[in-house]
Structure 1
Amino acid sequence: MDMAAQHPTAALLLCEVVMEILSWVPAKPLTRFKLVCKSWNSIISHPHFVKLHLHRSPKNAILLFTRAQALTLGEEEKQSLVLSSVESFIQNPSSSLDAQENRHSLHVEDWVSGSCNGLVCVADILFHSNDDICDIWFRLWNPLTGFVSVNTPCLRANVHNSFGFGYDESSDSYKVVTVIPDSSGTVTAHVYSFRDGSWKTINSLPAFLFYAEDNNGHFIGGTLNWLGLRNPRGDDYDWADVTLDMLMIVSFDLKSDTHKQILLPKGIDEMPREEPILGVWGNRLYLLHDYNNTHFIAWQMKEFGDENSWTQLLKISFHHLGVETLFPEFIFENGNIFMLRGRHCFEEVFYDRRDNSVKRINNLANNSYFIAFDYVESLVQPC
């Protein structure tokens, strides 16, 4: 048998073996492995490999968007994005936030509207002299590879808007959604596909108002989800006037551009004293709120979209947490660790339900506040 005739098959087999091995390597080393040789660069850059690697990547990091306050008069406010593993952040939050090697600078006007598959969606917002109007541009950014997309066409909107960012697997497209309610109660969604490079308008959303403290849409299962108020009167509200029947979850499907409403857990029988929030970890949706200003409660939707799968995951007293009142912020480790913020100071409380332990950190953000996103390092660079 002619050995030369076997060379193409042998080369193909070797390529598949190399691809299989490299697909289990963390994303950061792979950016250096591309320099080893042309064949490795070709393998690592191939869209099939990028998707395979993403599928096999563990979600072992969080994305921290921080906006530091100016400490002295006249000092310019600074913003940055920090990457840290969950383990490192929980063990030493302050050091993780201060680590320069994982810090990326942002413009003062930038706002992180979401993270998905290693991509960060950044909104550049220009406010007009009329405080109710702003211009918004969006871009995608991969902090690991340095990839930055071109800006979207400008979207003019009122300032009472909310962003959401996610991935439509059916069209292999990353999309950003801007939801804009007006004073009459009408809600409009503007959807931009980075693959198609175009905006489209959806006018069929129900009248609802989202919370200022929780205005990013939460991506899960191909949908973006907001917690809000049904049929609000105008574009503002007083929480003291809100009733349980006004609370709703709006879920927007990125594939069909349609929406549905998801009911809150049936076990909620009393209005929280403070606004509840949604959270996502892995493929689970969470609802976090206080009870009678004495307990913190966490609900988990075990099967996304199935309202009967809401399960009360946690009920813990403020006394046990060592606080008088608090606000939920983020969830780690499949709903096992909760990060909560004290009300009157820069204090973060970490509660681990596996061993019932409590850890408190004062002045964590060094006179700044931050927002945490679930994040995974990847090689994704969309068209």
Structure 2
Amino acid sequence: MPKLHMAAQHLTAALLLCEVVMEILSWVPAKPVTRLKLVCKSWNSIISHPHFVKLHLHRSPKNAILLLTLTPALTLDEEEKWGLALTSVESFIQNPSSTLDAQENRHSLHGQDWVSGSCNGLVCVARFLCQPNNDIGDIWFRLLNPLTGFVSENSPCLRVNVHNSFGFGYDESSDSYKVVTVIPDSSGTVTAQVYSFGGSSWKTINSFPAFPFFPEDINGHFIGGTLNWLGLRNPHGADYDWADVTLDMLMIVSFDLKSDTHKQILLPKGIDEIPGQKPILGVWRNSLYLLHDYKNTHFIAWQMKEFGDENSWTQLLKISFHHLGVERLFPAFIFENGNIFMLIGRHRFEVVFYDRRDNSVKHINILANNRYVIAFDYVESLVQPC
């Protein structure tokens, strides 16, 4: 009996030690914690456990961004190349050019790849293949974790046209990652195809109510278990003239990844006329943003403070193009809880950062030589779904 009691004490002590080690390691940044798996078998077991992975994700710093960059071909024999660069918000804003040129934390993608979203440290990459001068082709998706090097198996192939919008997010109810492809046809009918990674087939959702803008809002925005697009009601296909669009045609479609259902979110009541340029949606942390111009003279940003509550739309700022030092601009990304806005200048070779906290404006030429940049909210993680 004393031996049994002693064994129980040893087991209890071992479990307590394991919990202490797990608690300490869960606060270590993602990159060094992956190296700590080599310390011993017990640490490798702790760090690889699904419970630890979720705990570590919850505690990971939320100040990283993922940049999708396009490097142009220098010769006729070369191909354009996409790359993923991981950086902090502060580093990118202070020195964007150095961030894009740095080789550290950079990952190469195929020239036919496209990032369709980022969630919980995973990046969803689409590859579209079609014959020259043909709008119809095959597309499939895979997941990768730039930090751990994890790459998932490809999704089943899907036959689509080039005018598609994508979305990637996490369904907490089923602990699954899903990609959604929104597909219009020439008659104006829009359907959605949903794939859950690890599954064997796509699920068709008929009567999708709107056609997302292409290419301005090609990717759906993930927030609160939903993917959200800004699009047009009954546009009769991708070939439409913005000059013919009316305010009542604009709508936000929110797709619930748990139920595979969609609903409409109303635009802010303060929008009383159609913007001169196509508006876009944005997400930073737990807020949805709507960005647009006003009479081609001002930039306006709205924030939905409580996602899903249409009465919580609040106008964050209205600032003149003159103050920003541009004649025309295109919204690109939001940083720091809606305080810093990244905008693309008229000729798409100049990036403008506006900080509403001190009303400051910073101009950076980072699109020289046809370099293309798209930013995604990102968190480093150890997530590697089955």
From the superposition, tell whether residues 367 and 71 of structure 1 become closer, same or farther in structure 2 (CA, over 3 Å). farther
Equivalent of residue 197 in structure 2, options 194, 204, 226: 194
Partner in structure 1 of residue 237 of structure 2 = 234
Is residue 65 of structure 1 aligned with residue 68 of structure 2? yes
State the alpha-carbon separation in 2 of the partners of residues 135 and 67 from structure 1: 22
Equivalent of residue 95 in structure 1, options 82, 98, 101: 98
Is residue 119 of structure 1 aligned with residue 139 of structure 2? no
Partner in structure 1 of residue 373 of structure 2 = 370
Partner in structure 1 of residue 14 of structure 2 = 11
DSSP-derived class of the 2:70 partner: strand
In structure 1, what residue type is equivalent to 2:298? H
1:221-260 per-position Cα deviation (integer Å, ceiling 9, x unaligned):
1011110011113321111111111110111110000000
Cα pair 2:329 2:345 within 8 Å, conserved: yes
Cα pair 2:212 2:218 within 8 Å, conserved: no
Out of 209-218 and 85-94, give the one that drifted further: 209-218
CA-based RMSD: 1.3
State the alpha-carbon separation in 1 of the partners of residues 167 and 305 from structure 2: 22
State the alpha-carbon separation in 2 of the partners of residues 35 and 22 from structure 1: 13
In structure 2, what residue type is equivalent to 1:291? Y
In structure 1, what residue type is equivalent to 2:142? R
Name the TM-score, length of structure 2 as normaliser.
0.96
From the superposition, tell whether residues 234 and 278 of structure 1 become closer, same or farther in structure 2 (CA, over 3 Å). same
Query: How do residues 1-383 of structure 1 correspond to structure 2 at under 5 angstroms?
Result: 2-129=5-132, 131-364=134-367, 366-383=369-386
Deviation, structure 1 residue 211: 3.0
Deviation, structure 1 residue 129: 4.5
From the superposition, tell whether residues 363 and 47 of structure 1 become closer, same or farther in structure 2 (CA, over 3 Å). closer
Out of 329-338 and 357-366, give the one that drifted further: 357-366
Q: Which runs of 5+ in 2 are unaligned?
A: none
From the superposition, tell whether residues 382 and 211 of structure 1 become closer, same or farther in structure 2 (CA, over 3 Å). same
In structure 2, what residue type is equivalent to 1:28? K
State the alpha-carbon separation in 2 of the partners of residues 364 and 208 from structure 1: 29
In structure 1, what residue type is equivalent to 2:311? N
State the alpha-carbon separation in 2 of the partners of residues 234 and 44 from structure 1: 49
From the superposition, tell whether residues 300 and 207 of structure 1 become closer, same or farther in structure 2 (CA, over 3 Å). closer
Cα pair 2:210 2:231 within 8 Å, conserved: no
DSSP-derived class of the 2:361 partner: strand
Cα pair 1:94 1:364 within 8 Å, conserved: no
Name the TM-score, length of structure 1 as normaliser.
0.97
Deviation, structure 1 residue 3: 3.9
Deviation, structure 1 residue 6: 0.5
In structure 2, what residue type is equivalent to 1:286? Y
State the alpha-carbon separation in 1 of the partners of residues 212 and 169 from structure 2: 21
State the alpha-carbon separation in 1 of the partners of residues 215 and 148 from structure 2: 32
Deviation, structure 1 residue 268: 0.6
State the alpha-carbon separation in 2 of the partners of residues 239 and 145 from structure 1: 43
Cα pair 1:345 1:363 within 8 Å, conserved: no
Cα pair 1:123 1:138 within 8 Å, conserved: yes
State the alpha-carbon separation in 2 of the partners of residues 33 and 154 from structure 1: 38
1:250-300 per-position Cα deviation (integer Å, ceiling 9, x unaligned):
111100000001111000112211110000000100000111111110000
Q: Which runs of at least 4 in structure 1 moved beyond 6 Å after TM superposition?
A: none
Out of 252-261 and 361-370, give the one that drifted further: 361-370
DSSP-derived class of the 2:13 partner: helix
State the alpha-carbon separation in 1 of the partners of residues 254 and 8 from structure 2: 56
State the alpha-carbon separation in 1 of the partners of residues 95 and 282 from structure 2: 23
In structure 2, what residue type is equivalent to 1:277? I
Q: Which runs of 5+ in 1 are unaligned?
A: none
Deviation, structure 1 residue 54: 0.5
